[in-house]
Structure 1
Amino acid sequence: MTSLALALRRALVFSGLTATGVVVFFWLHRPDDDARRRRSRESGQPVRVLAAQEYTATPRALGYGVVEAQRNWQGLAEVGGKVVETDERLEVGRRIREGTVLLKIDPGSYELEKTKTEATVKAVRAQIGELKAREQSARANLKVEEKVLALARKDLARLQSLYDQGAVALTEVETAERELLSAERSVLSYKNTLSELPASRKVLEANLQQYKAGVKGAALELARTEVIAPFTMRLREVNAIEGQAVSAGQVLVVGDAVDVMEVPAQFSIASITPLRARGGRGPRAERDAETTTAGS
């Protein structure tokens, strides 16, 4: 009994010591308040995840400028005279279509000059036609006179033979000689005429070309009496009215095209910095621009 009791007591002591050690171990390793709070924070919160998509970012710069027409036109008076007609839309700010006759300068003197020059051309052409007819007539007459000359020579030879034989009088031979000389003069006259007519015709033809050029010049001057819009435009200046006398070279109207406009815009250095190429090598070669006019 004593041995059994001793063994039991040892077992109880060992169990008690073991339990005490376990309690001390768990007590030493218990989590404090800070650790609990830290674990609570580290445990995280539920979140929603979104996939980021790739987009192309376009840098922009804002500038200001005045809208200007890409091309403009000055209507000059190419001839002098009095303005006799104007278009009803000839006012500053009005839109004018291409081909519109804006002003018309008195064409009276230019029409008269054109008519006179055309009449001169007709007269010269008539003279050339007359020369051609004379040339044809001279050639025909020359052929006839050459035949007459041949007969006169034969007749003179025949009479000369008879005179040598004493069959005819000397007066008949002399008459035949005069007829031969007359035929020779006629032939020579027609030949001279035929040699002179071509030279005269060339002179007239040269004059004809000169007068025809005069007709074209008169027609050009006549066309210059009208000031015509070369393209669709908006009038910026109007410097002439109906009844006003104008001189050649005077600016009558000024217009701006409406098909293409330009804006010489001004930008600050800060606004164009994003537009510079990578590496600081200056602006890119190509730009896209959007224009907004004031009031739109």
Structure 2
Amino acid sequence: MFKKLLIIPGIALGVFAMMYLVGTRQQPRQVTVAERATTVKYIQVPQIDLIPRASGYGYVQPGKTWEAVAEVSGRITQMREPLKKGDFVSADDLLFQIEPDSSRLLVQQYEADILNTQAQLAELNQVEKETLRKLETEKKALEINRDELQRQQKLADEGIIAQSQLDKEKLNLLARMNTVENYIGSLDRLPSQRKALEATLKSQTMRKEDAEIVLDKTTIFAPFPARVTEVSAEVGQAVSAGKVLTKLGSIDLVEIEAQIPGFQLRNFVPRWMFAPNTNSTSRSKNYQDDIDLQAIILRKEGDHIIKWKGRFIRFSETDPRTGTMGVVIAVDNPYSQNSKKRRPPLERNMYVEVQLSGKPLAKKKVVPRTAIHENKLYVVNSKNRLERRPVIIEFFQGNLAVIDSGVKRGEKVITHDIVPAIDGMLLKPEEDTKIKNILSGKR
């Protein structure tokens, strides 16, 4: 019992100590914490003359292609050597000779027929001359006979000569008149005979020309300097008309039809080109006036990038599957360009990149694409505080965004994301010199 009572003083002492501490405690002091600024990178919005750019890919194809098609049937008797895929040929090189014997004989036959008809015409002309000469003679003789008949008639009237002698003179006159009429009839028939012979000659000449055309078709020549892309015939092979013997592609010009997204071309293509009432003739006439495109063709081979200079020639159709538009670029003398720069030629079916650049677009406000956040820019205001500002974007080009409205030239725009991004938060801006220099290079 006594031990239990000893606990009471300890408890009382503890209560007293607690009351003392509570009574003597100090009130808590309020500490003001300074606002923390977030470090950000910015650029001042530049206004530059922006060069529009676009790029796409396509295959190299010859500017001109040609198929050697047999126009006559027969056996190939001669062929250019060599004539294999990849060989080069010159203009007017003989590629194939199809047996010409039958065609040559036909030409010779028509030539003989023409000579025969020409001889008949010459003979007819000679007959005409002789007939005219004889007719003149007979006409003179006829006049003499008439004079003689008149004299005989007077003598008969005077009873000097017998009637039988007068009748004989009349018969002589009639015979002479008949001869004259025969010559006149012969001359009248000559024009129709001449027309018939001339028609025959014309027909024979036409048949000869047709035979010569067929004979010419037995020889096939290269129409221009080219490279062989396919050979499908050999010496001794019998071919029929219409068979393709070989295919050639020009070597003085190649074309690349690069497929480029339509949105990349909006700053290259004038709107009139897509007007429904604009015909193709007026489009082609205005290409050079309204479109100023510079083209570079690139091909990567290992660690090397090879470049060729191209020129724009036309737009092609829009691909319905991808929505890309074909832009046709030409490269002149693709085989000779490699002589000094030691680069390979642009050959058929090479897959290359085409980079286009156009006329500078004046006074465009540009920011890096990383500065765009759901169509908003993070702007550093005059108090170094964040302002999330909506903007209207005119278009994107690569890693750039062209701003139509919502921000002014010279305003400070943050070039990266901020997490969290709260309007009014304090910022510590530092100029992004790297992006500034990149944008300076876009001028």
TM-score range, shorter chain: 0.7 to 0.9
1:277 aligned onto 2:270: no
Paired residues of 2:52 and 2:267 also in contact (CA < 8 A): no
**In the alignment, which residue of structure 2 is the partner of 1:186?**
179
1:232-284: CA deviation from partner (whole Å, max 9, x where unpaired): 11111111111111111111111111111122234579xx85x7639xx9xx9
Q: 1:223 to 1:120 in 2, by over 3 A?
A: same
1:288 aligned onto 2:278: no
Match of 1:265 among 255, 258, 277: 258
**In the alignment, which residue of structure 1 is the partner of 2:215?**
222
Q: 1:254 to 1:105 in 2, by over 3 A?
A: same
**In the alignment, which residue of structure 2 is the partner of 1:94?**
87
**In the alignment, which residue of structure 2 is the partner of 1:141?**
134
5 Å-filtered alignment, 1:40-51, equals none
1:11-41: CA deviation from partner (whole Å, max 9, x where unpaired): xxxxxxxxxxxxxxxxxxxxxxxxxxxxxxx
Paired residues of 1:73 and 1:255 also in contact (CA < 8 A): yes
**In the alignment, which residue of structure 1 is the partner of 2:371?**
none
Q: In the aligned structure 2, how far is the partner of 1:62 from the partner of 1:153?
A: 106
Q: In the aligned structure 1, how far is the partner of 2:299 from the partner of 2:241?
A: 39
TM-superposed CA distance for 1:97, in Å, is 0.9
5 Å-filtered alignment, 1:1-296, equals 63-266=56-259, 277=267, 285-293=291-299, 295=301, 296=344
Q: In the aligned structure 2, how far is the partner of 1:156 from the partner of 1:268?
A: 110
Between 1:148-157 and 1:240-249, the stretch displaced more is 148-157
TM-superposed CA distance for 1:164, in Å, is 2.7
TM-superposed CA distance for 1:64, in Å, is 3.3
**In the alignment, which residue of structure 1 is the partner of 2:13?**
none
**In the alignment, which residue of structure 2 is the partner of 1:34?**
none
TM-superposed CA distance for 1:65, in Å, is 2.5
Output the aligned Cα RMSD: 2.6
Matched residue of 2:298: which SS?
coil
Q: 1:184 to 1:266 in 2, by over 3 A?
A: closer
Relative CO higher for 1 or 2, CA cutoff 8 Å, sep ≥ 6? Answer: 1
TM-superposed CA distance for 1:192, in Å, is 0.5
Paired residues of 2:57 and 2:259 also in contact (CA < 8 A): yes
Gaps of 5+ in 1: 1-54
Paired residues of 1:87 and 1:102 also in contact (CA < 8 A): yes
Aligned pairs, how many?
236
Matched residue of 2:248: which SS?
strand
Q: In the aligned structure 2, how far is the partner of 1:294 from the partner of 1:190?
A: 93
1:191-235: CA deviation from partner (whole Å, max 9, x where unpaired): 101111112112211222222222221211111111111111111
1:112-171: CA deviation from partner (whole Å, max 9, x where unpaired): 111111111111111111111111111111111011111112222222222232222233
Paired residues of 2:149 and 2:170 also in contact (CA < 8 A): yes
Matched residue of 1:203: which SS?
helix
Amino acid at match of 2:123: E
Matched residue of 1:160: which SS?
helix
Q: In the aligned structure 1, how far is the partner of 2:255 from the partner of 2:49?
A: 28
Q: 1:293 to 1:98 in 2, by over 3 A?
A: farther
Paired residues of 2:79 and 2:95 also in contact (CA < 8 A): yes
Gaps of 5+ in 2: 1-47, 272-289, 302-343, 345-443
Amino acid at match of 2:92: G
TM-superposed CA distance for 1:58, in Å, is 5.3
Paired residues of 1:89 and 1:96 also in contact (CA < 8 A): no
Q: Give the TM-score taking structure 1 as reference length.
A: 0.72
Paired residues of 2:66 and 2:248 also in contact (CA < 8 A): yes
Q: 1:289 to 1:171 in 2, by over 3 A?
A: same
**In the alignment, which residue of structure 2 is the partner of 1:29?**
none
Amino acid at match of 1:171: S
Q: 1:165 to 1:115 in 2, by over 3 A?
A: same
Between 1:109-118 and 1:148-157, the stretch displaced more is 148-157
Q: In the aligned structure 2, how far is the partner of 1:89 from the partner of 1:56?
A: 56
Q: In the aligned structure 1, how far is the partner of 2:238 from the partner of 2:216?
A: 18
Q: Give the TM-score taking structure 2 as reference length.
A: 0.49
Paired residues of 1:131 and 1:201 also in contact (CA < 8 A): yes
Q: In the aligned structure 2, how far is the partner of 1:251 from the partner of 1:174?
A: 87
